[in-house]
Every structure is written in structure tokens, then in C-alpha cells.
Structure 1
Amino acid sequence: MYIVLVYDIGEKRVGKMLKLCRRYLNWIQNSVFEGEITPVKLKSLLAEAKLIMDEEQDSLILFKSRSEKWLEKEVVGKEKNELDTFL
């Protein structure tokens, strides 16, 4: 599945969440990630995220799609992190 993940995490925990999300997804810009992920890896990511989060104050939002081709993405202005594909 293809997901876009957005989080709003307290300042003391944001570094840990950034490192966690980078292990599973591609960083797009501040607190935004996207990429293909298996259901098992998504479950692991969410379990680890819950250990970092204070669920009373922090939030994590997922937008899910079957694949990237079903999602139209438009960037207005400078794209902060262009994804390069090396073959």
C-alpha cells in the first residue's frame, strides 16, 4: 500500500519520530513522509510510534491508497526533498 504520513509531535519527541519515520518512508518535508509500505511494516511503524508519542498531546495521520498511481501529487513552489531513483 502507499501512504502519506503526517505527524504533529511535541518538541522533545520530534527527533525520535523523525528518525523512526525515515526508517520506513521517504521524507517529503517537515513532518511529512510518503512511500510504499507493507501492512506488516506499517503495523511495526505504528507500534513504535505509539511508544514515542504522548497520545494526549501528539497526533499522527495516515492517508492510505492501494498504490502511488491512485494518488495525484502536485507541488507548488520548491519541492523540499525530491525523490531520486537509482538503478
Structure 2
Amino acid sequence: MYVVIVYDVAVDRVNKVKKFLRQYLHWVQNSVFEGEITLAEFERIKAGIKELIDEDEDSIVIYKLRSRPQREIIGVEKNPLEDIL
């Protein structure tokens, strides 16, 4: 499955969440990750995020897609997906 994860977390947790998500997904821009993952990886990501955030203060939005979406960039692309092998 292809996922896009968008997060808004407290400053003291931002780097922990970013470092964790980089293990599974491609960093697109500040607080946005995306990529193709398995169902098992999806469950690990959800469990890991729950351990890192404060659910009363932070917000994570996960979009599950059936295939890789078409992207159109306006302006500077922060981290091109073409860099992935």
C-alpha cells in the first residue's frame, strides 16, 4: 500500500518522529513522508508513532492509497523521489 503521513507534533518530539519515519518512508518536506509499505510495516509505523507522540497534544494524519499518486510540484522540490533506488 502507498501511504502519505503528515504530522504536527510538539517541538521536543519532531526529530524523534522524523527519525522514526525515515526508517520506512521517504521524507518529502517538513512533516510529510510518503512511500510504498507492507501491511506489517504499516502496523509497525502506527505502533511506533503511538509510542513517540502525546495523543492529547500531537496530530498524525495517515492517507492510505492503492497506488502511488501522481505528484505535481510548484516551486522547489525539497527532496526528490527520483533519488531513491
Q: Tell me if both proteins adopt one fold, taking TM over 0.5 as the criterion.
A: yes
Q: Which residue of structure 2 lines up, in the alignment, with residue 82 of structure 1?
A: 80
1:9 aligns with 2:9: yes
Following superposition, the deviation at residue 5 of structure 1 comes to 0.5
Residues 1:75 and 1:54: Cα distance change in structure 2 (over 3 Å): same
Following superposition, the deviation at residue 64 of structure 1 comes to 1.1
Name the amino acid aligned to 2:47: A
1:36-75 residue pairs with structure 2 within 5 A?
36-68=36-68, 71-75=69-73
1:19-38 residue pairs with structure 2 within 5 A?
19-38=19-38
Give the aligned CA root-mean-square deviation in angstroms: 0.9
Following superposition, the deviation at residue 73 of structure 1 comes to 1.4
| CA distance, structure 2, for counterparts of residue 85 and residue 55 of structure 1 | 32
**Percent identity over paired residues:** 48
Following superposition, the deviation at residue 85 of structure 1 comes to 3.8
| CA distance, structure 2, for counterparts of residue 60 and residue 38 of structure 1 | 19
Give the number of equivalent residue pairs: 84
TM-score by length of 1: 0.92
Q: Which runs of 4+ in 1 moved over 2 A?
A: none
Name the amino acid aligned to 1:67: S
TM-score by length of 2: 0.94
Following superposition, the deviation at residue 74 of structure 1 comes to 1.2
- Unaligned 5+ segments in structure 2 are none
